[in-house]
Amino acid sequence: AQTVTQSQPEMSVQEAETVTLSCTYDTSENNYYLFWYKQPPSRQMILVIRQEAYKQQNATENRFSVNFQKAAKSFSLKISDSQLGDTAMYFCAFTLSGYALNFGKGTSLLVTP
């Protein structure tokens, strides 16, 4: 079974600063996909960024980037220039092709003025 671990239950960052959220996973497969989702109080899961395991280049989406370390099974999310609207729960998720997403327990991020 694939497991996803987020070791930081809560984090706080000041506006305009940079914060990194950690995620590790466990799998014996070689081809898989990793995601970071944001869940604001509205409850809707919003895709932040995704990474295919066979791609060595780290994914980036505007202020969001990942540090994907396949050998270490690590997939951290870096948020640059944090904004108040980034306050939310962040979930790391893993999937194999054709299967459902397997989520971590989440990290609650608070961006303060």
Partner 1 sequence: EAGVAQSPRYKIIEKRQSVAFWCNPISGHATLYWYQQILGQGPKLLIQFQNNGVVDDSQLPKDRFSAERLKGVDSTLKIQPAKLEDSAVYLCASSSGQFYGYTFGSGTRLTVV
Binding site for partner 1 (CB under 8 A): 4, 33, 35, 42-47, 50, 52, 91, 93, 95, 97-106
Both structure tokens of 26: 């466990």
Nearest distance, CB of residue 32 and partner 1, angstroms: 9
Comparison of 86 and 106: residue with beta carbon closer to partner 1:
106
Nearest distance, CB of residue 15 and partner 1, angstroms: 26
Comparison of 68 and 106: residue with beta carbon closer to partner 1:
106
Please list the alpha-helical segments (H only) found in 7-99: none
Dihedral-angle region of residue 48 (phi above 0 means left; psi in -120 to 50 means alpha; beta otherwise): alpha
Q: Are 11 and 110 in contact (CB under 8 A)?
A: yes
Comparison of 42 and 113: residue with beta carbon closer to partner 1:
42
Q: Are 112 and 14 in contact (CB under 8 A)?
A: yes
Nearest distance, CB of residue 104 and partner 1, angstroms: 5
Comparison of 10 and 15: residue with beta carbon closer to partner 1:
10
Both structure tokens of 27: 């799998």
